[in-house]
Amino acid sequence: MDAELLAMWQKYLPLMRERVDALKKAQQALGENKLDPELRQQAVQKAHQLAGSLGMFGHMDGTDAARKFEILMDASAPIADGQAAELNDAVAVLARIVHDDK
């Protein structure tokens, strides 16, 4: 990344980490069968925001993972076990991008 883009990345990294943490919270609630509609909608919103932000910084794998999370969470149907595994994979990609960056 060039210096200006890197400075912006560092500036927004805490916000992106908060968004990923919100997805983790929804993922955990899903695993505990405690995912309520409000938390689910918040996770959809955070995933949507991450998709755009990460793409702006060239993290297309993050954009793809965030979109996948958004689509699966935004469906009105209950989340199946296979979809839960896909959500887990998406969160792992996102966490790697924003939490492993120093």
How confident is residue 100, by pLDDT bands cut at 50, 70 and 90? confident
Q: Sign of torsion, CA 86 42 35 71?
A: negative
51: pLDDT strictly greater than 80: yes
Which CATH number applies to 3-99? 1.20.120
Q: What is the pLDDT of residues 38-50, one digit of tens each?
A: 999 999 999 999 9
> Residue 55, exposed/middle/buried by CB under 10 A (0-12, 13-18, 19+)?
middle
All structural domains of the chain with their residue ranges: 3-99
Tokens at residue 95, please? 């966490």
Distances (CA, A) of 75 to 20, 71, 93: 19, 6, 21
